[in-house]
Amino acid sequence: MTLLLTLIPLLQWTGGHSKEIDEYSKLGSMSVLSSSSVGWGVRALESEEPPVVSIDDPKQRQLAFQGKLLFQEDLETFNETDPEYDWDDFEQVSAHRRLVEDLLDPEYYESTVHPAMDFRDSVRVNLSMSLYQILQVDERSQSLTVSVWMVQDWYDQFLDWDPHDYEGINKTILPYNEIWIPDTFLYNSESMEQKRTEALMNGIIETGYWRNDSRGAYVQLMFPAIYKLSCRMNVRFFPYDQQNCTFIISSWTHDSSTINYFPKTEHVNMRNFAQNVEWAVVSFKFNRVEQYFKCCEKPWVMIYAHLVIQRKPLYYIINLVIPTSIITVVAVTGFFTPSSTSSERDEKLYLGINTLLTMAIMLLMISNKMPSTSTYVPLMGWYYMGIIFVIVVGTLLATVVLFVHSRKVHLKPVPSLLRGILTRTVVWKVILEPPTQLLEIWTEFGILHEMRIDPKELDPLVLEKLGPNKNANPLNFFSSISSQVSAQSAYRYERRLHSVTKQYADQVKLRERRERKRRETLRNAADFLTYGTTDVELNNSRIEKKKKLMRRCALEWEYLANVIDRILLFIFCLITIGFFVLLAFFDGFYTVGGEKEP
């Protein structure tokens, strides 16, 4: 007050009325906040040519900053109680409001100016990210949509204040559009409008006054974002594929000489991640790279965030692989079933065609999810191609079997080489046993010799019940055998009973065949001795022999077709099960790794 009263007469003596007001209106621009202030605005004011007047009184300092110190035409009649200049109104302004107004004063702060005293110094921007949710993985358009929380922090040397001047306030919040923020951009974003992907909010400003090695303020900008970025999908091992989608983050206009990016942590924060039902996150790491462009001398600092995700294959295994395998096994079984309702097997061709249509529909469902690429075929595509190949080949081979089966009507005998294979005991035991009628005909025509089993190989119970002077009685035999072997364990009981029963049945058939042949021989000899041989009897004998030959040819072709059916059934079922096991447990056989991005 003393200083003001001293200056009033001098101003009235040297200048006019308007000049007095102009001189005193400059007081705010020539004053500093405090004698102990270290703000950059103070230093700017100290560089003015007029002499600096220090105002330590809080009321006058506040009036000077707000530019509201007005003088009346007659300063001698200055009245502090005037309502227009009520000092109590200024005392009600909070320290926080003063701080915000001082920091954002357009005369001292510009949000478009590089936040360093020396414009040649680069600003270090620390970047961190939290993954919240994987919203969509579009393999066909090769894009990824995620919800993340971004955090950027840096030092702004122009946002400087002394907490002692503002009642100890160390931290405040300012709108993002009022302060300088880096032009951080997602380079591989599919959206060119940043406002549609990022919800920028306020910045948290914390003073650096208490740091001996720093000036200005620490600025932290946190905001949620939904990024849709392009990602080169590698579906070679679908549905066990692993994708490596990279976020390319950097400034769009500033090189490393002005903005220098650094990841705050090595890994992206996953604490708040909402698990995805189709994808599992394998890793999410940062990588800092300095990249040179032809346009610029200085390098650009690029932050690569590699998100590696692994597909969960359970949905595709349950809904596609298992039904396809079941349909294929049923189709293959139908192809190579020895008998059919019409005894002609023509319906097998219709079954093959229907199965092919089913596989084509399922393959179309898979192809709709895959990207259009000619570089490779997905694993699921190979599976369905293999299944379709099995169905096609099975249909063709079923046609061959139908041709073999139809040869029985032509009354042509089976070639000797094939008959020799069919009469081998190995074929009977491993593949299919011939029908009894065919065995009797082969024996009658001398193709097979009577099977003589060494008595030493027979079970003692069979020898006991089939002695030379005992008649065969199957009912008594089976009841007595069951009672004798029942004292053994269940497994040994079943095996012993099966072995004894089979040996007994074979021996009974052999005995009946010998007895029938012996009776026929005696009857023919008696007829020959009694009546001699007539033309009618010879003709009847030839006709009977021809019928047996025709029956033998038909049975041989049917048996050959059945053997081929059984062999193909085993092979194709084995191939189908192999395809299923390979695809269902592929992750156990092969470790899928994502391709590295630069």
Helix, strand or coil, per DSSP, at residue 242 = strand
User: For residue 312, what pLDDT is reported?
Assistant: 92
Which residues are registered as beta bridge partners of 290?
Answer: 301
- CB-CB contact of 432 with 422 (8 Å): no
Express as a percent the part of the chain with pLDDT over 90.
Answer: 27
User: For residue 195, what pLDDT is reported?
Assistant: 85
Average pLDDT over residues 312-322: 89
pLDDT band at 9 (very low <50, low <70, confident <90, very high): very low
The token duo for 356 is 């092919």
Spatial separation of the C-alpha atoms in residues 364 and 249, rounded to whole Å: 38
Q: What would the pLDDT profile of 39-65 be if each residue is shown by its tens digit?
A: 333 333 333 344 333 444 444 444 444
Spatial neighbors of 221 by CB under 8 A, at least 6 apart, are 151, 152, 153, 176, 181, 200, 201, 203, 204
- Pairing mode, if any, of strands 203-207 and 259-263? unpaired
Spatial separation of the C-alpha atoms in residues 187 and 205, rounded to whole Å: 28
Beta strands in 378-433 (DSSP E): none
The helix (run of H) or strand (run of E) holding residue 156 is strand 143-156
Spatial separation of the C-alpha atoms in residues 549 and 52, rounded to whole Å: 134
- CB-CB contact of 134 with 146 (8 Å): yes
Q: What would the pLDDT profile of 123-174 be if each residue is shown by its tens digit?
A: 999 999 999 999 999 988 889 999 999 999 999 999 989 999 999 999 999 9
394 pLDDT more than 60: yes
**374 half-sphere exposure, CB direction, 13 A CA radius:** 0
Q: What would the pLDDT profile of 257-303 be if each residue is shown by its tens digit?
A: 999 999 999 999 999 999 999 999 999 999 999 998 888 888 999 99
Average pLDDT over residues 5-26: 42
CA distances in angstroms from 300 to 53, 92, 193, 587, listed in the order given: 47, 49, 22, 40
The rounded mean pLDDT for the chain is 75
The helix (run of H) or strand (run of E) holding residue 422 is helix 416-422
User: For residue 36, what pLDDT is reported?
Assistant: 34
* Size (the chain), residues: 598
Burial class (CB in 10 A: 0-12, 13-18, 19+), 441: buried
CA distances in angstroms from 580 to 332, 353, 355, 364, 514, listed in the order given: 14, 21, 17, 19, 52
Picking from 182, 220, 226, 181, the residue whose alpha carbon sits closest to that of residue 203 is 220
pLDDT band at 558 (very low <50, low <70, confident <90, very high): confident
Angle at 246 between CA 242 and CA 252, to 5 degrees: 170
Spatial separation of the C-alpha atoms in residues 456 and 287, rounded to whole Å: 81
Alpha helices in 15-57 (DSSP H): 17-25, 40-46
pTM, rounded to two decimals: 0.65
Average pLDDT over residues 338-356: 67
